[in-house]
Amino acid sequence: YRRQRQMCIRDRYMILLLVSLAFTFVACDNDTEPGGTAVEKMAGDWWVTVNAFIDGKEVEDPFGAGHLQMSTYNTASNSETEMWLDDLGNFWEYKLKVNVNYAARTFSTTGFVDNVTYESKVKITDGKVLEKAATTPSGMPADSIVYMVQFDDDEDGLTYKVSGFRRTGFPADDF
């Protein structure tokens, strides 16, 4: 009986070993290419400033906010016709899906759309990402982002211009 029991235990370990090896071989598929997202050339973290148009004139940084970080990224559907635009709570607390023309690297909304962050509506116009059109504080070229934004809960009804460059990750380019 003892010998039979030892063989059963040994057989169980052998089966576990074979199953583990099978999973190892399945998990090590080297032919898979990771690829990118559908809007990868428009997605990223950005350092931006916000100007306002007051009485037809552009006023630089009217709230004294300085440089703010924001993000653009793909949606769950990973479509090249939409992406998320998110100020990360650094300006007006807005996060919304924008329509994308990926070939032209432009984005906007169709009128005012729901803000996911809180109950308000946001309108984005003239959004674009321009490859290597900005210069970082360290003097290196980087992609540029610029767009106009309006908020339905803005008592002054102003239009704001958000513009900046793609975050490089180098300390010399961070604020």
pLDDT digits (tens, 9 = 90+) for 50-92: 999 999 899 999 999 999 999 999 999 999 999 999 999 999 9
Mean pLDDT across the stretch 8-34?
A: 66
Report which of 124, 117, 118, 119 is spatially closest to residue 100, judged by C-alpha positions: 124
Measured between alpha carbons, how far apart are the two ends of the chain, in Å?
74
* Tokens found for residue 141: 């070229």
Q: How confident is the model at residue 40 (pLDDT cuts 50, 70, 90)?
A: very high
What digits encode the pLDDT tens for the residues 16-25? 777 777 766 6
Q: How far is CA 95 from CA 30, 88, 98, 145, 149, in A?
A: 37, 8, 10, 16, 12
Judge contact between 83 and 74, C-beta under 8 A: yes
DSSP one-letter string for 32-56: ------TTTTT-EEEEEEEEEEETT
Instruction: Give the pLDDT confidence score for residue 173 in this predicted structure.
Output: 96
Q: How confident is the model at residue 15 (pLDDT cuts 50, 70, 90)?
A: confident
Positive or negative torsion for Cα 46, 52, 58, 63: negative
Beta strands, E only, 32-158: 44-54, 57-59, 68-74, 82-86, 95-101, 106-108, 113-114, 121-135, 141-151
Tell me: pLDDT of 95 over 60: yes
Residue type for position 89: G
Instruction: Give the pLDDT confidence score for residue 106 in this predicted structure.
Output: 98
Mean pLDDT across the stretch 92-101?
A: 96
Mean pLDDT across the stretch 90-107?
A: 96
* Tokens found for residue 107: 């984005």
Residue type for position 66: G
